[in-house]
């Protein structure tokens, strides 16, 4: 806790391309949360290698993601925005926490089962112990709150269990983190299959709107979005495709679904899709412009990366040294 503010930690993997769903559901909310908490926002590149990555591509995507954090409105002086791999304490604490985590707990993780099925040729130990590294990410900074989606809630519960278990043995070492409960970002579905979540790794290019898509691409994808044959812009469970488009339009314009229904009463799907596409393209344009400026200024971005890694490490080392002493590792000579 710094200056009396509670600590918040969150991060994203440097794999795939961020979608409008990632922006609406998480990134945009981070900007709001940064006014309420002392925040660490990490590019969790160590998590990314549980699946084989092209090294050059991973480096490029990590830099692009970090620049997107800033372009979306996160202040790198007010917040700590950094690469996970630049703070070695993440991996060091993860090893210690591995020794306080039970096999049965990890075997119950649904994400391990899902990813094992998708990557049957590479079921590695890192994929299995991924939740312990996530616990280390969180506990390292004495994190009070963690904004998580439903797919990561099980991992946060494990982090809490590990913290409580460790504290029961060694005293009050870790802050036990709470899930962030507050305004939840809208859940954005696939444009081609509105019954499933929009994904940054979808094989169908037309299913997702990426934050780097240019205006023509955005308009084309919305034009091809799946709807239905009712020819009525209505926010209804019976119309998942149109409901999803209304959700997106509401999120980027600030209008309620009821206001959207009134705005497009008696108007066709083609007109509505175009309006949604234009509203999304207008939202993305300033983010894309800012990101391009950041990536073009190598010295400035490198400075942010170096300074923020040092800030994160300063906080992390405090916890790591305390943990190392508690478990009995020899102290370092001063």
Confidence (pLDDT) at 17: 86
Query: Residue 20 pLDDT > 90, yes or no?
Result: yes
* Average pLDDT for 152-176: 95
Percent of the chain with pLDDT over 70: 95
User: Of the listed 6, 187, 200, 223, which one is catalytic?
Assistant: 200
197 is catalytic: yes
pLDDT at 61: 94
Say whether 115 is catalytic: yes
Tens-place pLDDT, residues 23-57 = 998 899 999 999 999 999 999 999 988 888 889 99
Strands 145-146 and 178-179 come out as parallel
Please give the pLDDT value at position 318. 96
Q: In whole angstroms, what is the distance from residue 14 CA to residue 12 CA?
A: 7
Give how far Cα 268 sits from Cα of 204, 218, 295, Å.
26, 19, 40
Residue 8 pLDDT level (bands cut at 50, 70, 90): very high
Q: Nearest 5°: CA angle at 256, between 255 and 260? A: 75
The predicted model gives 171-177 an average pLDDT of 97
Residue 3 has pLDDT above 60, yes or no: no
What are the start and end residues of each CATH 1.10.240.10 domain in the chain? Answer: 205-292
Q: How far apart are CA 289 and CA 279, in angstroms?
A: 16
DSSP 8-state code for residue 101: S
Q: How many CB atoms lie within 10 A of CB 263?
A: 14
| C-alpha–C-alpha distance, residues 66 and 291, integer Å | 9
CATH ID of 205-292, from 1.10.730.10, 1.10.240.10, 2.30.140.10, 3.60.20.40: 1.10.240.10
Classify 3 in phi/psi space as left (phi over 0), alpha (psi -120 to 50) or beta.
left
Enumerate the CATH 3.40.50.620 domain ranges in the chain, comma separated.
Answer: 7-185+298-327
Q: Is residue 231 scored above 90 in pLDDT?
A: no
Cβ–Cβ under 8 Å, residues 175 and 82: no
Q: What is the pTM of this model?
A: 0.91
How would residue 180 be classed by pLDDT, with cut points 50, 70 and 90? confident
Q: What are 262-319's pLDDT values in tens digits?
A: 999 989 899 999 999 999 999 999 999 999 999 999 999 999 999 999 999 999 999 9
Are residues 44 and 60 in contact, defined by beta-carbon separation less than 8 angstroms?
no
Would you say residue 115 has pLDDT above 80? no
Domain 7-185+298-327 is classified in which CATH homologous superfamily?
HUPs (3.40.50.620)
- DSSP letter at 178? E
């Amino acid at each position: 806790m710094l200056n009396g503010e509670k600590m918040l930690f969150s991060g994203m993997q440097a794999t795939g391309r961020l979608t409008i769903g990632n922006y609406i559901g998480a990134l945009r909310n981070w900007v709001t949360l940064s006014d309420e908490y002392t925040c660490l926002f990490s590019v969790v590149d160590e998590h990314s290698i549980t699946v084989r990555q092209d090294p050059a591509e991973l480096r490029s995507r990590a830099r692009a993601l970090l620049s997107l954090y800033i372009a979306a409105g996160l202040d790198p002086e007010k917040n700590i925005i950094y690469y996970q791999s630049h703070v070695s304490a993440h991996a060091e604490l993860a090893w210690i926490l591995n020794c306080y985590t039970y096999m049965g707990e990890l075997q119950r993780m649904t994400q391990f089962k899902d990813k094992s099925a998708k990557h049957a040729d590479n079921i590695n130990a890192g994929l299995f112990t991924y939740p312990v590294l996530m616990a280390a990410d969180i506990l390292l900074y004495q994190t009070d709150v963690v904004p998580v989606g439903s797919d990561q809630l099980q991992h946060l519960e494990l982090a809490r269990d590990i913290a409580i278990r460790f504290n029961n043995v060694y005293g009050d070492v870790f802050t036990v983190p709470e899930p962030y409960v507050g305004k939840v970002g809208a859940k954005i579905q696939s444009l081609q299959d509105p019954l499933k979540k929009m994904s940054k790794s979808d094989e169908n290019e037309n299913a997702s709107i990426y934050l780097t898509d240019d205006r023509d691409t955005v308009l084309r994808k919305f034009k091809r979005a799946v709807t239905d044959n009712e020819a009525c812009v209505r926010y209804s469970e019976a119309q998942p495709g149109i409901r999803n488009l209304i959700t997106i339009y509401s999120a980027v314009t600030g209008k309620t679904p009821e206001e959207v229904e009134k705005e497009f009463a008696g108007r066709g799907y083609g007109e509505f899709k175009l309006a949604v596409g234009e509203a999304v393209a207008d939202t993305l344009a300033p983010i894309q412009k800012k990101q391009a400026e950041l990536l073009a200024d190598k010295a400035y971005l490198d400075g942010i990366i170096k300074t923020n890694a040092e800030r994160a490490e300063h906080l992390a080392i405090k916890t790591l040294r305390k943990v190392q002493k508690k478990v009995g590792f020899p102290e370092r000579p001063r």
